Amino acid sequence: MMRLIFKIWLWCLAACLWLGTAQGANFTASLDRDTMTLGETATLSLTFEGGSPQNAPAPDVPGLDISSSGNSQSFSMVNGAMSSTVTVTYSVTAQQPGQYTIPALTADVGGQSLTTQPITLTVQKPDAPSADDIHSGNEAAFMTLSLPSGKVYLGQELTAELRIYVRDDVQNFGNFQFTGQNADGFLLGKSAQGGRSQARVGDRVYTVIPVTYALTTTRAGQLTLGPFTAQAVIVLPSQNQPNVDPFFRQFFNQGDQKQITLATTTATLDSLPLPDQNKPANFGGAIGNFTLAVSVGPTNVTVGDPVTVRVQIAGHGALDSITLPDQSVLPGFKVFPPTVKTDAGNGLGLDGTKIFEEIVTPQTADIHAWPQFSFSYFNPDDGQYHTVTQPPVALTVQAAGATPMPAFAKTSAPENQPPADILPIKENPGRLRPTGTALINQPVFLLLQGLPVMALLAAWIWRRNTDNLANNPRRRRQLAVAQLVSQGLAELKQFAAGNQPDEFFATLFRLLQEQLGERLDCPASAITENVIEEHSLLRQAPASTRDGLRELFQLCNQARYAPVRGTSELNSVASQFQKVIAELKELRA
């Protein structure tokens, strides 16, 4: 049974839908207003009834910015007839005042091609409210714009004040946005919002929001500022609850939200050109009222050392336009480009200090001072040029290679106070050397330490030998005889060559005595031919050695009586002596 009822209900619904759609489709375009002020936003609605569009048309009107802001769909049933409505909305803003026409739009809805009627939108230029409107309290919010009075010069910076008045019954003031800031002959600079205050205008109390603008005049002649236009959203108390006590209304009244357009009147002033009379040669365009301070340090340096020159210009005026005179070509100095720092005294940048810091290096020791520095500006208050001058700063520049006072001593802060910055860099790299290992790890250095050890060892050995020799007379005699024999052999050869047999054999005999005396450890004078047979050491000697000795002794004896022999024979005897001496040295006691 239930199943049958459900089927019947479905059939009824389908029939109703068919009946609804069979009523015919409709397509309309509408604006929420036909007139608006420049800066306001209108809403364009495209409504499709009786079906959904295949493609919603996108209107395109020159001078208007139209952007989609959403769409919605709704169903309704009236007397059993169901209808559907699709609404596509667009936000419309104008770029310029004027009259605009949104053309007829065509869309395909439910298989039908439908066209809307053209719509006209009038965009009005925002106008400042009249004085009567303001004083009557009819304006929920309004703006005023004012310029200072007095002479204004080309390039001068000044301020304009914009005041936004919001009536006391406005529950909320938000989404404030400028839509136009006309400034003919002015360059708009920074702005700063001041503190809110209350002011009575006519019979109403308004909250005043001041906004100060920095302006720079860009040409001479009559200049016009404004109108400034803006839009905002305010919430006013709802008029639908007149009987509710105001005390409770402030808590429970949600209010009516309203978008408003604000506009100021225009303000004009005359801008004067800067006078040519008495214009200083170094005038660089600074307009205002300034003071100058120059510091130079350190003042005791070596040629090539960096010196910091700090030029501080403080006062009221266009700080951005202040430039340092070109100092790139200063005789005797090398000047690096300066760094610039601006400390604005307020948010507008019209008061404050501009600091130029440049590094210079004296190139010769002939420099004795940092030269005089002048700065010129035009003061609009008295309409005259002024020049402030800083006298020369004495410098002591020592020639490279001289010993300057240590840098830390010149720049260090007083005792017990931390230094303000690190000490400056050094001009010379010093002696560059390869990155090496520590001396103690270098083999050459370690080997070098062996030299004194070896010297000491050698001295110790020498001392030991010397001492040993001093305590060993036989060894001393051995060495002395060896030296004597060595010298004697040379003499023998000389005598042989000179054919001097007497001297030859006398020397030979003496050498034989010395050598045998040393070997036999007895006085040399006691040595005769008989020792060959008598001494045990010689008895143990080879027969050839003993024969040789015997022959040499006999030759010495015969030489006293025999005739003179020749050189060759003497040389032969000398050789024989040398051989016998060598054999004697081999004998062991």
Partner 1 sequence: MKAPILNSLVVSGKRVLLVMVAIGMAGNLFAADADGDFAAANRLYAEGKFSAAATGYEHVLETGGVSANLLFNYGNAEFKAGNLGSAIAAFRRAGLLAPRDQEIRANLDYVRNQVQGTTIRPPRWQEWLGQLSLNEWTVLTALAFWLALALFTVRQIRPALRPRLSGFTTLAILLTLGLGTGMGLQAASHFTQATAVVTTTPATARSGPFDDAQESFTAHDGTELSILSRHDDWVQVSDAQGKIGWLNVKQVQVVPGA
Interacting residues with partner 1 (CB under 8 A): 306, 336-337, 339, 359, 361, 406-408, 412, 418-419, 421-435, 438-440, 445, 448-449, 452-453, 455-456, 459-460, 462-463
> Please, which residue, 219 or 334, has the CB nearer to partner 1?
334
Closest by CA to 143, choosing from 179, 92, 119, is 179
CB of residue 363 to partner 1, shortest distance in Å: 13
Distance in angstroms (rounded) separating the CA atoms of residues 24 and 111: 10
Closest by CA to 519, choosing from 485, 488, 468, is 485
161: tokens are 């004040």
Element (H, E) at 451: helix 450-470
Distance in angstroms (rounded) separating the CA atoms of residues 553 and 509: 7
> Please, which residue, 11 or 336, has the CB nearer to partner 1?
336
SS3 38: coil
- Which residues does residue 171 pair with via DSSP β-bridges, in sequence order? none
CB of residue 354 to partner 1, shortest distance in Å: 17
CB of residue 133 to partner 1, shortest distance in Å: 58
CB of residue 121 to partner 1, shortest distance in Å: 58
State the angle between helix axes of 543-559 and 501-520 in degrees (0 to 180), rounded to the nearest 10: 140
For residues 216 and 187, the answer to whether their CB atoms sit within 8 Å is yes
> Please, which residue, 427 or 521, has the CB nearer to partner 1?
427
> Please, which residue, 205 or 400, has the CB nearer to partner 1?
400
CB of residue 456 to partner 1, shortest distance in Å: 5
Closest by CA to 264, choosing from 39, 42, 35, is 39
> Please, which residue, 9 or 408, has the CB nearer to partner 1?
408
> Please, which residue, 427 or 534, has the CB nearer to partner 1?
427
Distance in angstroms (rounded) separating the CA atoms of residues 13 and 412: 96
Distance in angstroms (rounded) separating the CA atoms of residues 550 and 554: 6
CB of residue 411 to partner 1, shortest distance in Å: 10
Cα–Cα distances in angstroms (integers) from residue 418 to residues 42, 415, 468, in the given order? 66, 8, 73
CB of residue 485 to partner 1, shortest distance in Å: 30
> Please, which residue, 5 or 439, has the CB nearer to partner 1?
439
CB of residue 520 to partner 1, shortest distance in Å: 35
Amino acid identity of residue 387, one-letter, is T
**Cα angle at 279 between 275 and 285, to 5 degrees?**
85
CB of residue 404 to partner 1, shortest distance in Å: 12
> Please, which residue, 1 or 438, has the CB nearer to partner 1?
438
> Please, which residue, 12 or 448, has the CB nearer to partner 1?
448
> Please, which residue, 431 or 588, has the CB nearer to partner 1?
431
CB of residue 394 to partner 1, shortest distance in Å: 23
Distance in angstroms (rounded) separating the CA atoms of residues 360 and 424: 13
Closest by CA to 538, choosing from 482, 586, 587, 503, is 587
> Please, which residue, 467 or 551, has the CB nearer to partner 1?
467
CB of residue 38 to partner 1, shortest distance in Å: 49
SS3 445: helix
Residue carrying structure tokens 């529950």:
171
Amino acid identity of residue 19, one-letter, is L
From the CB of residue 43, how many other CB atoms can be counted at a distance below 10 Å? 13
From the CB of residue 553, how many other CB atoms can be counted at a distance below 10 Å? 21
User: How many alpha carbons fall within 13 Å on the CB side of residue 84?
Assistant: 14
372: tokens are 């005089």
